[in-house]
């Protein structure tokens, strides 16, 4: 092949390195998020435009972060994974001592640092670091196992537990059940993709289902048992009860959920129009931003949003299959599990299908830490194609992770 043809082929490959489909979907979600925050805070609630500008600013910070994240390839992430995990764990320890007292008094969670006018949640930044390190643990284990068996699968699960339990404990000490559920969803997705035998998975899933069902029964009929255990707080049990009976105490514990369901339902097919709201919903700009979309644009608006999420997840899965890199596969699994759980839980709790856990809607809800975490996840996915195309078209280098 002539040098001119090689140059033309390489030039063409530069354009294909960037996954414009994922970028376009995130851009659409950014527009939806900024417009929804503006409609909620400025038009509906009558506050100034500052929350909208801050949300847009966090998107700008997220975009710059994505550019930085893309610069690192899988070999570099492999080498950095231990450092990222260690730094994330350090932040989870520090927050227990230096959390914002005022925020903790109002929310009950010791999860935020406060630096001047800004606050951020270190557990959100820990999630992508945890994903990368967990991907290394699984990849490294599988590369050393010649013949898989139930025994080797148990060893793998033991390794996963060793790196997962410490952050889960630290996050629970912050009184942040929602983030812990996200971490556990990342672990669950990675375990399912790791090739663990169904002889282990089926009994494990059965135990989890029975355990979850048992907690719901205890919360509904024997709450004192859970309270006496010291692992549960009264407000958590109240959330379960309000989920089981959302209109049982509409002036008390069920107020937020009841208002959310009414707001979503009142939008009907096509909504009431931009910025029009007749139902007051607490914390609408963050955890309950979907109520604004549903009330303003109805079932059609909510369906369009879900379709955009579906396309984004599909493109992430497609990128994962194209790279054919095991380490990248587990990173992608973690990112997809994180984002997918956020979507299902947030919209599920908004319409009363799931208990309220305080989990934001990805790329739409107001909140800089969560947005930055999701943008880092997008950057990790974009890095796959970016470097995969580069190596495939230029010199076909193969990574050695030893």
Nearest one of 127, 141, 128 to 194, comparing CA atoms: 141
| pLDDT higher than 70, residue 4 | no
pLDDT at 305: 97
pLDDT digit string, tens, across residues 45-54: 988 899 999 9
pLDDT digit string, tens, across residues 335-384: 999 999 999 999 999 999 998 888 999 999 998 899 999 999 999 999 98
In a domain, 152, yes or no: yes
**C-alpha dihedral (336, 341, 342, 345), degrees to nearest 10:** 160
pLDDT at 396: 43
Distance CA(330)–CA(142), nearest Å, equals 12
pLDDT confidence of 185, banded at 50, 70, 90? Answer: very high
Structure tokens at 168: 């889960």
Q: Widest CA span of the chain, in angstroms? A: 78
Distance CA(333)–CA(316), nearest Å, equals 9
In a domain, 183, yes or no: yes
Structure tokens at 120: 């951020």
Q: How many domains does the chain have?
A: 1
Least confident of 119-128, 152-161, 225-234, 243-252: 225-234
In a domain, 213, yes or no: no
DSSP-derived secondary structure letter, 204: H
Contacts of 50 (CB under 8 A, 6+ apart): none
pLDDT digit string, tens, across residues 145-154: 888 889 999 9
In a domain, 7, yes or no: no
In a domain, 390, yes or no: yes
Distances (CA, A) of 59 to 26, 27, 83, 200, 365: 10, 10, 26, 42, 12
Contact indicator for 211, 220 with CB cutoff of 8 Å:
no
| pLDDT higher than 60, residue 109 | yes
Nearest one of 293, 301, 288 to 259, comparing CA atoms: 288
Structure tokens at 6: 């090689």
Using the structure block, give the residue that is written with the tokens 């579906």.
310
Residues spanned by the domain of 357: 30-196+233-394
Contact indicator for 113, 119 with CB cutoff of 8 Å:
yes
Nearest one of 3, 59, 37 to 275, comparing CA atoms: 37
Whether this prediction's pTM lies above 0.85 is answered by yes
In a domain, 4, yes or no: no
Distance CA(341)–CA(358), nearest Å, equals 13
Nearest one of 331, 323, 310 to 378, comparing CA atoms: 331
In a domain, 13, yes or no: no
Distance CA(263)–CA(277), nearest Å, equals 8
Average pLDDT over residues 280-291: 92
DSSP-derived secondary structure letter, 399: -
In a domain, 19, yes or no: no
Average pLDDT, the chain: 88
SS3 (DSSP) at 203: helix
Contacts of 374 (CB under 8 A, 6+ apart): 62, 338, 339, 342, 362, 363
pLDDT digit string, tens, across residues 202-244: 999 999 899 888 888 888 888 888 887 777 777 778 888 888 8
Compute the Cα dihedral for 180, 183, 189, 192 and give only its sign. Answer: negative
Could you tell me what percent of the chain has a pLDDT over 70?
Answer: 92
Q: How far is CA 376 from the centre of its chain?
A: 11
Contact indicator for 293, 302 with CB cutoff of 8 Å:
yes
| pLDDT higher than 90, residue 38 | yes
């Amino acid at each position: 092949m002539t040098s001119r043809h090689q140059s033309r082929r390489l030039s063409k490959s530069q354009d294909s390195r960037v996954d414009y489909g994922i970028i376009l979907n995130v851009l659409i979600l950014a527009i939806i998020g900024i417009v929804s925050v503006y409609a909620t805070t400025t038009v509906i609630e009558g506050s100034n435009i500052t929350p909208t500008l801050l949300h847009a600013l966090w998107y700008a910070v997220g975009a710059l972060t994505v550019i930085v994240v893309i610069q690192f390839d899988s070999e570099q992430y492999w080498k950095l994974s231990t450092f990222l995990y260690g730094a994330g764990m350090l932040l989870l320890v520090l927050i227990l001592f230096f959390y914002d007292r005022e925020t903790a008094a109002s929310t009950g969670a010791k999860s935020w640092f406060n630096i001047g006018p800004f606050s951020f949640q270190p557990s959100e930044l820990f999630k992508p670091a945890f994903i990368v390190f967990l991907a290394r643990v699984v990849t490294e284990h599988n590369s050393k196992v010649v013949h898989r068996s139930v025994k080797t699968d148990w060893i793998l699960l033991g390794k996963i537990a060793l790196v997962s339990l410490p952050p889960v404990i630290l996050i629970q000490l912050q009184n942040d059940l929602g983030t812990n559920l996200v971490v556990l969803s990342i672990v669950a997705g990675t375990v399912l993709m790791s090739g663990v035998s169904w002889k282990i998975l089926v009994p494990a899933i059965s135990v989890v289902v029975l355990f979850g069902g048992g907690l719901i029964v205890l919360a509904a009929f024997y709450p004192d048992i859970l309270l006496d255990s010291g692992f549960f707080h009264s407000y958590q049990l109240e959330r379960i009860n309000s989920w089981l009976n959302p209109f049982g105490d509409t002036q008390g514990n069920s107020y937020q959920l009841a208002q959310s369901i009414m707001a979503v339902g009142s939008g009907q097919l096509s909504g009431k129009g931009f910025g029009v709201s007749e139902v007051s919903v607490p914390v609408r700009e963050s955890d309950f931003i979907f109520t604004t979309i549903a009330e303003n644009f109805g079932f059609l608006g909510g369906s369009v949003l879900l379709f955009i999420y579906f396309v984004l997840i599909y493109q992430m899965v497609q990128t994962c299959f194209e790279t054919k890199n095991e380490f990248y596969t587990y990173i992608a699994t973690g990112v997809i599990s994180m984002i997918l759980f956020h979507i299902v839980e947030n919209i599920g709790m908004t319409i009363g299908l799931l208990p309220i856990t305080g989990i934001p809607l990805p790329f739409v809800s107001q909140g800089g830490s969560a947005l930055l975490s999701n943008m880092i996840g997008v950057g990790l996915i974009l890095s796959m194609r970016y470097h995969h195309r580069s190596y495939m078209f230029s010199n076909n280098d193969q990574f050695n992770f030893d």
